[in-house]
């Protein structure tokens, strides 16, 4: 007799969500299939927005397909690992050797592996808020507990290391740093990174540095690898080719270990075991690593007049011209994280805001609440599309908001709604009482 009992899911999986490809994404696909016009600004996929990879990167993969049918070593091809190690030595991480590099099928594979090797049940990992939800989900699935530390919108979305330190308990094992940041586009300065590194140093924590957007910088901003601020702290730096080389479909990322070898030896052995379980990374994509790291055309895209610089400026300007919408200008990556200020419009929570935008205007964005604990009214939008597409997107958003006005607009010229800005500071920039108040309201 056939069993009719329901298949139970794990309790861990019930605490996992990924709004970039969640129920709203499924609804957007159904709308497209029905012939509706859907403008999707939910995924950071450069290839989808007319930004193809360098031809040399594609050619080297194609030319080596015949020699890429078998497995590589579990950690990756020696020549590809060598190329990544040289890449980080050129960035000032002089101790990185090829044996410190693990290749993987994107950061989204290596991040969970690194946490499974580290965490015991109920161990805690500090994660920035807002966050990229892959990190929160990976901590949960590894049996740990994500604990968020606040990034301050009024300080260009930078955290206060004192706030990070207050979150540490006897169960804390690691601190995640996403820099340049997804979803805010913030690039954290040295004093913030040194402050976080000092927290890890004092409490014996591992640093997990997600630096997949390290090459996407604007306005003369310089990216500082977290590991250079913590040569005496175990640090895992994660990067890859998905964004830098605009080949996210190839699924090629890496993890580089720095810091003292002796104290981390057991962790490295556990990581070796877990890496071997997946047999090997994508071998054809590994063939691209050496060429892709040599051919770096990203600076031309982010420089004045470059396609990404133009698109970032265009979207930010259009958003801040909408009454009641504020946005910190992103200095890195390719996202903007605007906030619709309370009181001007009749809006529900963030989930209903994103759902209503999709249903009424065919505009698909990611709700702020899907990116960790943040104040209401935020949305994440990618800056990758061409300017005319971004104009269309902001026209839809403005039209949607206009139908929900609580008051009629004044006749005087509107000033741009840019948030009051304080400099992005390290450990001394905020009064403790002020920080506690902001945290409780987010």
CATH classification of the domain holding 133:
3.40.640.10
Residues 109 and 177 in one domain: yes
Among 216, 188, 214, smallest CA distance to 128 is for: 188
Q: Check residue 21 and give its pLDDT.
A: 65
Average pLDDT over residues 49-61: 95
Residues 277 and 220 in one domain: yes
Q: Check residue 406 and give its pLDDT.
A: 84
Domain that holds residue 321: 14-51+301-406+415-426
Scored b (16 or more CB within 10 A) or e, 64-76 reads eeeeeeeebebbb
Q: Please tell me the distance from the alpha carbon of residue 270 to that of residue 268, in angstroms, as a whole number.
A: 5
Average pLDDT over residues 229-239: 97
The pTM of the full predicted model, rounded to 2 decimals, is: 0.89
* Beta carbons of 268 and 71 less than 8 angstroms apart: no
Q: Check residue 435 and give its pLDDT.
A: 33
Which among 246, 262, 294 is the end of a domain? 294
399 C-beta neighbours (distance < 10 Å), count: 12
Q: Check residue 8 and give its pLDDT.
A: 77
Q: Is residue 439 part of a domain?
A: no
Average pLDDT over residues 274-291: 95
Residues 78 and 212 in one domain: yes
Q: Please tell me the distance from the alpha carbon of residue 435 to that of residue 442, in angstroms, as a whole number.
A: 11
In sequence order, the 6+-apart residues with CB closer than 8 A to the CB of 196 are 159, 161, 164, 175, 177, 207, 226, 229
- Which residue intervals of 14-155 are DSSP H helices? 23-33, 55-63, 78-90, 107-116, 133-141
Q: Is residue 9 part of a domain?
A: no
Q: Check residue 146 and give its pLDDT.
A: 96
Residues 209 and 132 in one domain: yes
* Beta carbons of 191 and 428 less than 8 angstroms apart: no
Provide the total of helices (H) and of strands (E) in the chain, helices listed first. 16, 15
Query: What CATH code is carried by the domain that includes residue 380?
Result: 3.90.1150.10
Which among 254, 274, 294 is the end of a domain? 294
pLDDT at 343 over 90: no
Q: Please tell me the distance from the alpha carbon of residue 99 to that of residue 254, in angstroms, as a whole number.
A: 12
Structural domains in the chain (count): 2
pLDDT at 145 over 90: yes
Q: Check residue 427 and give its pLDDT.
A: 36
Q: Check residue 10 and give its pLDDT.
A: 75
Among 161, 94, 157, 168, smallest CA distance to 130 is for: 157
Average pLDDT over residues 157-166: 97
Q: Check residue 196 and give its pLDDT.
A: 98
């Amino acid at each position: 007799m056939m069993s009719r009992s329901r298949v139970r899911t794990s309790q861990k999986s019930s605490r996992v969500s990924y709004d970039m490809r969640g129920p709203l994404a499924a609804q957007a696909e159904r709308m497209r299939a029905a012939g509706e016009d859907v403008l999707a600004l939910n995924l950071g996929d450069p290839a989808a927005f007319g930004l193809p990879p360098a031809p040399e990167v594609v050619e080297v993969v194609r030319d080596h397909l015949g020699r890429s049918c078998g497995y590589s070593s579990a950690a990756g091809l020696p020549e590809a690992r060598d190329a990544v190690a040289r890449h980080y030595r050129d960035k000032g991480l002089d101790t990185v050797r090829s044996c410190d590099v693990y290749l993987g099928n994107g950061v989204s594979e290596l991040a969970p592996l690194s946490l499974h090797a580290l965490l015991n049940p109920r161990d805690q990992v500090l994660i920035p808020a807002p966050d990229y939800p892959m990190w929160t989900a990976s901590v949960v699935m590894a049996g740990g507990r994500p604990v968020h530390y606040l990034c301050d919108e009024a300080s260009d979305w930078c955290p206060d290391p004192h706030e990070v330190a207050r979150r540490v308990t006897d169960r804390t094992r690691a601190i995640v740093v996403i820099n340049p940041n997804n979803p805010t586009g913030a690039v954290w300065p040295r004093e913030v990174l040194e402050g976080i590194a000092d927290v890890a140093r004092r409490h014996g924590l591992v640093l997990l540095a997600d630096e997949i957007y390290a090459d996407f910088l604007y306005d003369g901003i310089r990216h500082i690898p977290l590991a250079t601020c913590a040569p005496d702290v175990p640090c895992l730096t994660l990067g890859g080719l998905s964004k830098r080389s605009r080949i996210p479909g190839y699924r090629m990322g890496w993890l580089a270990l720095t810091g003292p070898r002796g104290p981390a030896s057991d962790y490295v052995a556990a990581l070796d075991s877990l890496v071997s379980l997946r047999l090997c990374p994508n071998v054809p994509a590994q063939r691209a690593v050496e060429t892709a790291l040599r051919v770096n055309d990203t600076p031309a895209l982010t420089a004045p007049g470059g396609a990404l610089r133009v698109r970032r400026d265009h979207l930010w300007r259009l958003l801040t011209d909408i009454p009641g919408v504020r946005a910190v200008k992103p200095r890195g990556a390719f996202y903007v994280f605007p906030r619709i200020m309370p009181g001007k419009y009749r809006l529900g929570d963030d989930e209903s805001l994103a759902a209503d935008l999709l249903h009424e205007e065919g505009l698909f964005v990611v709700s702020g609440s899907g990116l960790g604990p943040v104040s209401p009214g935020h949305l994440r939008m990618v800056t990758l599309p061409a300017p005319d597409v971004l104009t269309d997107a902001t026209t839809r958003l403005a039209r949607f908001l206009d139908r929900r006005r609580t008051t009629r607009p004044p006749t005087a010229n509107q000033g741009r709604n840019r948030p009051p800005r304080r400099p992005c500071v390290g450990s001394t920039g905020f009064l403790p009482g002020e920080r506690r108040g902001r945290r409780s309201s987010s």
